[in-house]
Amino acid sequence: MPIEIRELVIKATVNNKDTRTSDSGSSPEVAEPLINEIVDRVFRILEQKQHR
């Protein structure tokens, strides 16, 4: 019997304790749009699966 998930809550805590300097690190201005895009894609996939 399939299980229906009605609500999904995702919480994350990020601790950046790395003291190395790197040019490849993402600044908050760069990381936020990337995170938003990933979240949008996840929600689109979930909506597609819900409509099946």
Q: Give the integer Cα–Cα distance in Å for 35 and 11.
A: 13
Is the confidence at residue 18, as pLDDT, over 70? no
Range of weakest confidence among 8-12, 27-31, 33-37? 27-31
- For residues 32-46, give the mean pLDDT: 90
Smallest Cα–Cα separation from 45: which of 15, 3, 8, 19?
8
pTM exceeding the 0.75 threshold for the entire prediction? no
Residue 10 tokens read as 């995702």
At residue 43 the predicted structure's pLDDT band, cuts being 50, 70 and 90, is very high
